[in-house]
Copies of this chain bind each other. A is one copy, B any other.
């Protein structure tokens, strides 16, 4: 492996240059005006896969954004087959004014690359491609069979992936799926995520009078949709952070002493956490530690709201409409459709008279618990320890990667969540970035993972 790891060191700068090129493509999947950039990003990746020696490289069009597929299957039928999954689409960039550099003009600062998609997920996708290139260029072979699947709709709920998996079961057949779209526990401490929260993302539209009114001439006579929406939101959670939606906590098992011990073992520092966010107090569901709230408990957040006059100065208007995007993170045994129905019933129940309510279900994903034993997880664990010089911790993460469920149900393959990002890297926020040491060490870790997996499966 010496030569291979040296090759990775020698090509460090070039690999970063290429990553910068990938990060400069504005592949925002939510914005219709970026559709051609998303398409271009898929083409860029497919060319790149071919250039590093992958085979059968194809761009699969979908009703939405395309899926890039590539493979290298010459290790032999006796060797395991790994499916690598990642996504090349990125989140919107607003508020643009809070970015230090333009989000699609990647900039290197303090050993990090700043750009939208740096850590979520282009940087993590690209380090796997660089691992494959390093193997093929130094050894002309891989110790396992590899399939690469990179989608362009993860940030909009992977709406067309399920059908694609169903239609291509044979092509995608594999022994395990490797996903790098999660965070390390902290810098220097690799981790394998075994639990992911689900998501139920709703939008509530409140309409009062049929037009904006003068707040002097009408104020006091009609229900104000902004006051009404605020009242609805305030009834979703009590001041102890407990969600009040009827039946919301049904079927959620209590944390086992084991699980609580596992969380406690992670030396989570609340003071550092507060300082990093500039808040004077943390807030969450009573009866749980912050790390438990993040990993193992459901939550509810308003992601955005708007209504009435929001320009400069004082417009004395009694607005006609208000709306809010509200999402819930789910934990095992909660079902996103069940929660969406309970959310809608509850909102309609608590809505005051004098307004009409419309509710949309924008997207959802069920929670996941990945089995912690199994060859792939062991191989990942050894590879991470060799690359980072420290055994990984097993963590549950607050985010959602719904497709892990699809892989287990449709492809019947277990996922390994081997992430190289950091939660402090502003994913989904201005100044998103990716640590370049983790990028570099991540290439080595993935390279070692293939070797470990090949040996453990021997």
Contacts and interface: CB of A to CB of B under 8 A. Distances in A.
Interface of A: 30-32, 91-92, 94-95, 98, 156-157, 183, 197, 199, 201, 208-224, 226-227, 229-231, 233-237, 239, 241, 273, 277-285, 290, 293-294, 297-319, 322-325, 327, 329, 352-356, 362-363, 397-400, 423, 426-431
A154 to B, nearest CB: 11
B305 A226 contact: yes
A199 B318 CA distance: 14
A215 B279 contact: no
A397 B216 contact: yes
B283 A353 contact: yes
A220 B277 contact: no
Contacts of A353: 280-281, 283
A30 B311 CA distance: 9
A316 B220 CA distance: 36
A221 B293 contact: yes
Contacts of A213: 277, 428-429
Given A91-B315, A213-B428, A217-B427, 5 more contacts: A210-B278, A211-B431, A222-B282, A230-B305, A314-B362
Q: Taking each of A219, A327, A355, which has the highest tally of chain B beta carbons within 10 Å of its own beta carbon?
A: A219
23 contacts: A30-B313, A30-B314, A95-B212, A156-B313, A183-B217, A210-B277, A210-B279, A213-B428, A217-B397, A220-B293, A221-B293, A223-B279, A227-B236, A227-B237, A230-B234, A231-B234, A239-B352, A302-B308, A305-B306, A314-B362, A314-B363, A316-B428, A317-B429
A74 to B, nearest CB: 38
A303 B316 contact: yes
A199 B283 contact: no
Given A216-B197, A220-B294, A230-B229, A303 B315 contact: yes
B362 A218 contact: no
A221 B92 CA distance: 24
A327 to B, nearest CB: 6
B199 A297 contact: no
A428 B317 contact: yes
A427 to B, nearest CB: 5
Contact of A398 (B216, B273, B307, B352): B216
